Homo-oligomer: A and B are copies of this chain.
Amino acid sequence: MNALSPTLLDPKPAPSDKALVPFVSVETMMRLVHRVGLEAMLRDLAEAIAEAFRRWESFDKTARIPAHSAEGVIELMPTADGELYGFKYVNGHPRNMKAGLQTVTAFGLLADMHTGYPVLLSEMTLLTALRTAAMSALAARHLAPEGARVMAMIGNGAQSEFQAVAFKAICGIEEVRLHDIDPLATAKCARNLDGHGLRVVACGSAEEAILGAQVITTATADKRLATILTDNMVGAGVHINAVGGDSPGKTELARDILLRAEIFVEFPPQTRVEGEIQQLAPDHPVTELWEVLAGRKPGRTGAAQVTLFDSVGFAVEDFAALAYVLGKARETGLHDRLDLIADPDDPRDLFGMLMRAHP
């Protein structure tokens, strides 16, 4: 059985237009990224997310719906804005890497709320990596100290290069200082960033990586309470972009850092459970990032502040990314079409459609 079995090549009678759902495969997503350009796409995604965050109140919001197993979690992340409905399927299985599998894979869907018909099915493993990096850089544009040019990148796994390129494209970062407990990961990250216009410095310790950095990004994958950053490592005037802590029992920062930081989050009911702030009291003050993007609350207010974006990823970001991809897929023609929805001539005649298909 290969990818081109007869049923896909020769569907007769051909399903009607209504029955065919635009589909962006992994291969197609890669083509789309190269067609648009990586940095341009990261900037576009940041703008798409900013636009969605500015109209935050128009979205139905709910914490993601998890299914836990011993090895990891599978989550559904739905949201809707009255016109479009979107959801993402995403897993997080830290031990997958040892079996040669992705820690995080994802796909997503958009549907027309007026009919319930899907309008896009898309891979989202790549798209999640892109939108997560775009979200981080978008937040940093409002939270990092002015003139920030150096970023420490702690954790050099699958997300790290996307973060580095996004911070270059969106925040003007010029130097990234890499550290990972696995030197092979750092070497891979440095190799991949070659030619992307960044000064790349491989560092033997987290302490070395944060030397001179105005932005500290943590993106490690262990599913446990880890302390990637201790209190004495974080000086004044730094922005921390904490990407890795994103499920109950998984954090990266020492609690003391949180106590002296201005904390910005996506959706508090979700971040309180999954983010770094699961270490704090449930009423510890945080600022919702959408309020900053909508101009209702300030971002960074002083050069000496420690700011923290406690990133866990929220459905509205995926919605914005999918809506952007739908537009680009239509504009470029880069998509397939899937026979996912039954569409009998008479909508009440599903049975007749089935019977007429008798070989």
Report A's interface with B, CB cutoff 8 A. Answer: 1-5, 7-9, 11, 14-15, 18-20, 23, 25-28, 30-31, 33-34, 38, 60, 62, 65, 67, 69, 71-74, 76, 78, 80, 82, 85, 87, 89, 91-93, 96-97, 99-103, 105, 107, 109, 111, 113-118, 123, 125-126, 129, 156-158, 160-162, 185, 188, 191-192, 333-344, 346-355, 357-359
Contact = CB atoms under 8 A, between A and B. Distances in A.
A143 B19 CA distance: 38
A136 to B, nearest CB: 15
Nearest to A32: B7
Nearest to A2: B337
Given A11-B25, A339-B26, A341-B105, A347 B97 contact: yes
A78 B60 contact: no
A9 B162 CA distance: 29
Contacts of A116: 71-74, 91-93, 96, 105
Contacts of A15: 3, 26-27
A46 to B, nearest CB: 18
A9 B1 contact: no
A306 B232 CA distance: 73
Nearest to A333: B1
Nearest to A353: B30
Contacts of A38: 354
B3 A341 contact: no
Contacts of A334: 7
B351 A3 contact: no
A126 B354 contact: yes
A113 B69 contact: yes
B25 A348 contact: no
